[in-house]
Amino acid sequence: MTKTVLILGATGRFGRNAAEQYRAAGWTVKAFDRGRDSLNIAAQGVDVIVNGWNPAYPDWAKSVPGLHAQVIEAARLSNATVIVPGNVYVFGADTPAPWSEARPHKAQNPLGRIRIEMERAYAASGVRTIILRAGDFIDTQASGNWFDMIMAKKLSSGRFVYPGDPSIDHSWAYLPDLCRAAVQLAEMRYDLPRFCDVPFPGYTASGLELAQHLSVLLGRDVAIKRMNWLPIKILQPVWPMARCLVEMSYLWRTAHSLDGTRFHELLPEFQETPVEQALASAIPASLLRDQVNPNQAVAAGT
């Protein structure tokens, strides 16, 4: 039977990886073009809608409710299942880790509240929805995430720039693995609750642990350099993105992890890519020591 998925935001981090993984699993992939397509028409006949739309932080308040309302309506008309890449913003700094589907959503900051209300809208809609919740992304190419924009920028000089306390746990998700999980959950969607919140355990690793892995990959000592937040704080009055980055900076001071119990109950045979292989595919190949083949990192997760 033909299986068709509509990818919203197919050129973004999650959407690009999702398209690759769905194609690899034999699905027909349709990429939505916001400049040309009608969402309600594009969604007709599809089995799954992957909502990879993610406006810039400063636009969330005005854009997120409307964008997701459009997706809910399209899914209702087409009877499609929606897969949403969830994040950890909903929990708030005072929620004890590990964070699971049973933990209350207590975030009080503006961006966290927007995500809480967005998820509530899906739950109340009756549209079949899978929230696949993950931590910060590790991608196979530079895509504007924390890891490639900030942390790995100075690896060529042996420095790993870390935005917070490098001694505490932080949640990470390797995008090929996360999107492979999205495919497998989509294929069992009718066996899941109509609204299903699935935390993706990914990797729980401190900055120090990541630096150790990178030292192995590079064949040289990698030293941690703490990121200086002062320039970003100074820019808050004139740069809206700076205000948002400072708002979410608590995640770099708050130890957290995602509880994988439900994930492993649903997908007991899922094999994650080893963390060093994931990191090898996320940094320039020229930095890797000779015996490391970064292509193995991508292949291992598929």
Q: 208-261: per-residue pLDDT in tens?
A: 999 999 999 999 999 999 999 999 999 999 999 999 999 999 999 999 999 999
Query: Which pLDDT does position 240 carry in this prediction?
Result: 98
Q: What is the mean predicted confidence (pLDDT) over 38-44?
A: 98
pLDDT of residue 289: 87
pLDDT of residue 91: 98
pLDDT tens-digit profile of 97-125? 999 999 999 999 999 999 999 999 999 99
What average pLDDT does this structure show over 268-281?
A: 98
Query: Per-residue DSSP letters for the chain?
Result: ---EEEEETTTSHHHHHHHHHHHHTT-EEEE--TTT--HHHHTTT-SEEEE-----GGGHHHHHHHHHHHHHHHHHHHTPEEEEEE-STTT-TTSPSSB-TTS-----SHHHHHHHHHHHHHHHH---EEEEE--EEE-SS--S-HIIIIISTTGGGTEEEESS-TTS--EEEEHHHHHHHHHHHHHTGGGS-SEEEEE---EE--HHHHHHHHHHHHTS--EEEE---HHHHHTTTT-HHHHHHHHGGGGGTS---B--HHHHHH-TT--PPPHHHHHHHHS-GGGS-TT--THHHHHHT-
Q: What is the pLDDT of residue 112?
A: 98
Q: Quick one: pLDDT at residue 2?
A: 74
More confidently predicted of 172 and 291: 172
* Percent of the chain with pLDDT strictly greater than 90: 94
pLDDT of residue 223: 98
Where does the pLDDT of residue 1 fall: very low under 50, low under 70, confident under 90, or very high at 90 and above?
low
Q: Tens digit of pLDDT for each residue in 175-185?
A: 999 999 999 99
Q: How confident is the model at residue 291 (pLDDT cuts 50, 70, 90)?
A: very low
Rounded mean pLDDT, 270-282: 98
Average pLDDT along the chain = 95
pTM: 0.94
| pLDDT at 298 > cutoff 80 | no
